[in-house]
Amino acid sequence: MIDLRSDTVTRPSEAMRQAMYQAEVGDDVYGDDPTVNALQALACKLTGKEAALFLPTGTQANLVALLSHCERGEEYIVGQKAHNYMYEAGGAAVLGSIQPQPLEMADDGTLPLDKVAAAIKADDIHFARTRLLSLENTHSGKVLPLDYLQRAFAFTREKGLALHIDGARILNAAVSLGVPLSDITCYCDTLTICLSKGLGAPVGSLLCGSAEYIKRANRWRKMTGGGMRQSGILAAAGIYALENNVQRLQDDHDNARWLEQQLRAIGVEIAAPGAQTNVLYLHQSAEMAARLGPWMREHGVLISAGPLTRLITHIDISRQDLQTVVELWQRFLQQQD
Ligand SMILES: *Cc1c(COP(=O)(O)O)cnc(C)c1O
């Protein structure tokens, strides 16, 4: 199947599996797993942060991040459609008694700083205490501009807030901008990175920050059930991904751009033209979408078809696969008239 539903569907390559097979392991709860330690050290080198922590999922990494920033009765300012507000089952509120303060995001995925300023609560017994600004990079495939991040970071220093970046796809942002990751991560206190999306690892995320912060996070990771044992087997896939699969993200971006042009040429309505990374959005009628999804599946292509359809390119999708998808799409459209 040609699977365009997400970049989480990638399967570990032969070489990645070899790296996993050969990984030296120990008990990571004791801090004894050399491969996990090597992955965390690599994350520090790439992000310029003092310390890093390997976690099973991006959702848990974001949860642990929020629990380590905010205490009960405190709040984080976050985008209305941000993953760590919308798509993580309310974990910070449920498990941490942390209040989200969601704000409408601008079209480019930023949170306008004047709106953030207006949402910061005064020191008053009526209010939750505002502690954190949480941004997402990339958001819906959009790369946050560096000058925005620079302003946001300075703004949070001025306001006494911490700045977290949910960087599930932050390496897509770095590759798209053509800068080292640390040119982005210098504008945040903490960040998460998903190894199991475009980077092609089967499992795993990283949380990076100061040594003191990560020490706190390690306790929360244990409490939330994320303390793994011989997890070097999984960390080896992460190291392989960071060493081999970062620059090739450019292929996914080029493929998304190519697919956008091809689909536009056959009359498909592109929702947000100018794909910057590996995500493409299309508009179509609900009736059309209801027919398209099953038809594509019958012909070997998996997409989450809806009025707003999201297509994602990744390491297991070739240009040839996309050629096939465009041909099928054209045949489907011809049958509609
Ligand atoms: C996928 C994703 C996550 C969560 O990752 P999981 O590993 O699926 O839990 C967090 N934030 C963003 C922006 C994501 O895209």
Tens digits of per-residue pLDDT, 164-204?
999 999 999 999 999 999 999 999 999 999 999 999 999 99
Q: Determine if ligand 1 sits within 6 Å of the CB of residue 168.
A: yes
The 10s digit of each residue's pLDDT in 94-132 is: 999 999 999 999 999 999 999 999 999 999 999 999 999
Q: Determine if ligand 1 sits within 6 Å of the CB of residue 173.
A: no
Rounded (10°) angle between helices 319-336 and 249-265? 20
56 has a pLDDT exceeding 80: yes
pLDDT of residue 116: 98
Backbone angles phi, psi at 139, to 5 degrees: -115, 125
Cα 59 to averaged position of ligand 1 atoms, centre (Å): 6
Q: Determine if ligand 1 sits within 6 Å of the CB of residue 196.
A: yes
Distance from C-alpha of 70 to C-alpha of 38, rounded to nearest angstrom? 29
Q: Determine if ligand 1 sits within 6 Å of the CB of residue 7.
A: no
Q: Quick check: helix, strand or coil at residue 1?
A: coil
Q: Dihedral through CA 109, CA 112, CA 115, CA 117, nearest 10?
A: 120
Nearest to 224 by CA among 51, 8, 14, 64: 64
Q: Quick check: helix, strand or coil at residue 180?
A: coil
pLDDT of residue 64: 98
Mean pLDDT for the chain overall? 97
**Could you give the percent of the chain with pLDDT greater than 90?**
99
Q: Quick check: helix, strand or coil at residue 8?
A: helix
Distance from C-alpha of 86 to C-alpha of 315, rounded to nearest angstrom? 27
Q: Determine if ligand 1 sits within 6 Å of the CB of residue 57.
A: yes
Task: Indicate the pLDDT class of residue 134, thresholds 50, 70 and 90.
Answer: very high
152-161: list long-range contacts, CB under 8 Å, 24+ apart: 152/110, 152/111, 152/113, 152/187, 153/186, 153/187, 153/188, 155/113, 155/116, 155/117, 159/117, 159/120, 161/77, 161/120, 161/130, 161/131, 161/132, 161/133
85 has a pLDDT exceeding 90: yes
Q: Determine if ligand 1 sits within 6 Å of the CB of residue 176.
A: no
Cβ–Cβ < 8 Å for 287, 274:
no
Strand partners, 148: none
Atom of ligand 1 nearest to the CA of 136: 13
Domains of the chain plus CATH, in order, are 10-244 (3.40.640.10), 248-336 (3.90.1150.10)
Q: Determine if ligand 1 sits within 6 Å of the CB of residue 138.
A: no
Q: Whose CA is nearest to atom 5 of ligand 1?
A: 58
Distance from C-alpha of 318 to C-alpha of 301, rounded to nearest angstrom? 13
Cα 34 to averaged position of ligand 1 atoms, centre (Å): 26
Q: Determine if ligand 1 sits within 6 Å of the CB of residue 59.
A: yes
Q: Determine if ligand 1 sits within 6 Å of the CB of residue 6.
A: no
The 10s digit of each residue's pLDDT in 260-308 is: 999 999 999 999 899 999 999 999 999 999 999 999 999 999 999 999 9
Atom of ligand 1 nearest to the CA of 167: 13
Cα 199 to averaged position of ligand 1 atoms, centre (Å): 13
Helix (H) or strand (E) holding 306: none
How far is C-alpha 58 from the chain's CA centre?
A: 7
216 has a pLDDT exceeding 80: yes
Specify burial of residue 107 (Cβ count, 10 A radius: 0-12, 13-18, 19+): exposed
The pTM score is: 0.97
Atom of ligand 1 nearest to the CA of 62: 10
Task: Indicate the pLDDT class of residue 336, thresholds 50, 70 and 90.
Answer: confident
Distance from C-alpha of 123 to C-alpha of 105, rounded to nearest angstrom? 25
Distance from C-alpha of 217 to C-alpha of 65, rounded to nearest angstrom? 7
Q: Whose CA is nearest to atom 4 of ligand 1?
A: 58
Q: Determine if ligand 1 sits within 6 Å of the CB of residue 137.
A: no
